[in-house]
Amino acid sequence: MEELGRGGMGERSLFVLYVSNPDDIPATFAVSGPYFVCLLAWDATGVRAADVGAVAERLIKAGMRVCRMLGAGLRAGARYFR
């Protein structure tokens, strides 16, 4: 995970994490607090809804509290992020 910068209200940090597959998402993240916001940019075309759900569960357990999704194929798994 790479920190891109810091700023704004509360001096929040912005990180980016590049992964090749969902299994590469870490179970924990080294961020400044216990919770984080996630922008999930993923071409999930052909990925099963249950697999998108597994990614959601992993991120929630790691501290994600808000998620915005961008990418093809994510609509099928969106119910896991509600």
Q: Is residue 19 pLDDT above 60, yes or no?
A: yes
pLDDT digits (tens, 9 = 90+) for 36-47: 888 888 888 888
pLDDT digits (tens, 9 = 90+) for 21-66: 888 888 887 777 788 888 888 888 888 888 888 888 888 888 888 8
Buried (b) or exposed (e) across 21-44, using 16+ Cβ within 10 A?
eeeeeeeebebeeeebebebebeb
Give the confidence band of 79 by pLDDT, cuts at 50, 70, 90: low
Average pLDDT, the chain: 78
Among residues 82, 54, 28, the alpha carbon closest in space to that of 15 is found at 28
Q: How many domains does the chain have?
A: 1
| Domain boundaries, position 73 | 2-81
| Whole-number pLDDT of residue 21 | 81
- Distance separating alpha carbons of residues 60 and 3, to the nearest angstrom: 20
Predicted TM-score (pTM) of the model is: 0.70
